[in-house]
């Protein structure tokens, strides 16, 4: 169970999957206090992920605040951005 990097509390499971040979595996977690979400991804994706990168995920604007390896999985910590905290994108 990941620890929230902002409040240092254990994060609650947000999504659990079951597949052949894998039963009730936690694959994402959340901290409601700090609006932080963690998702487990394949480590090969680390080359595409940078701390501070902002992106739209599930209709929300988020910022990557931490990357952490846990076993064979890469945990990506994203914090939701308030509308007033968004960095406006400009087309150049």
Q: What is the pLDDT of residues 48-86, one digit of tens each?
A: 899 999 999 778 899 999 999 998 899 999 999 976 444
- What's residue 19's pLDDT? 86
Task: Write down the pTM of the prediction.
Answer: 0.80
Inform me whether the pLDDT recorded for 92 exceeds 50.
Answer: no
| 25-36 mean pLDDT | 92
| CB 61 within 8 Å of CB 81 | yes
Closest to 46 measured CA to CA, from 78, 73, 28, 14 = 73
Q: What is the mean pLDDT of the chain?
A: 86
Distance CA 66, CA 78 (A): 7
Q: How much of the chain, in percent, has pLDDT values that exceed 90? A: 55
| CB 20 within 8 Å of CB 45 | no
Distance CA 72, CA 54 (A): 25
């Amino acid at each position: 169970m990941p620890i929230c990097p902002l409040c240092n509390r254990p994060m609650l499971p947000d999504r659990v999957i079951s597949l052949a040979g894998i039963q009730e595996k936690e694959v994402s977690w959340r901290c409601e206090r700090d609006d932080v979400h963690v998702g487990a991804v394949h480590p090969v994706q680390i080359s595409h992920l940078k701390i501070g990168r902002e992106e739209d995920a599930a209709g929300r604007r988020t910022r990557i605040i931490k990357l952490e390896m846990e076993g064979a999985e890469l945990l990506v910590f994203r914090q939701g951005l308030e509308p007033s905290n968004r960095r406006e994108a400009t087309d150049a």
